[in-house]
């Protein structure tokens, strides 16, 4: 019986996986506030986001690393995901952006928690 309880507790952390707003709260809030609609290309907000997404330390993945660009050398998957966020945002591919967000959350929970 005791053995069973221990096993259950070991499995539990998987159920409380981090969400996107736990990992990159500022970016998650931005996406929430625009209600899934990306800012209009070349609008002020768009330009501001674009330049932040281009910078490894300020982009979505960078925020998760506490505004550091260290992941470029330390995690190929994070580097790739960060690059894709920038690409999909600049091409205004909202659904691809959402897929990439999910890929990031899954990867983060598997490798960086």
| Residues at the site binding Zn ion, with contacts judged by CB under 5 A | 75, 77-78
Closest CB to Zn ion among 22 and 77?
A: 77
Minimum CB separation from Zn ion for residue 108, in Å? 7
CA–CA separation, 3 and 28 (whole Å):
40
Instruction: Quickly count: other Cβ atoms within 10 Å of residue 23's Cβ.
Output: 21
Closest CB to Zn ion among 45 and 106?
A: 106
CB 60 within 8 A of CB 53: yes
Minimum CB separation from Zn ion for residue 65, in Å? 9
Closest CB to Zn ion among 91 and 110?
A: 110
């Amino acid at each position: 019986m005791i053995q069973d309880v221990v096993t259950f507790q070991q499995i539990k952390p998987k159920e409380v996986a981090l969400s996107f707003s736990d990992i990159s709260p500022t970016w998650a809030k931005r996406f929430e506030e625009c209600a899934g609609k990306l800012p209009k290309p070349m609008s002020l907000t768009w330009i501001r986001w674009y330049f932040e997404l281009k910078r490894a330390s300020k982009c979505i993945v960078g925020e998760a690393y506490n505004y550091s660009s260290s992941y470029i050398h330390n995690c190929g998957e994070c580097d790739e995901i960060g690059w894709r966020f920038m690409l999909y945002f600049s091409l205004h591919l909202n659904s691809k952006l959402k897929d990439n967000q999910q890929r990031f959350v899954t990867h983060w929970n598997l490798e960086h928690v």
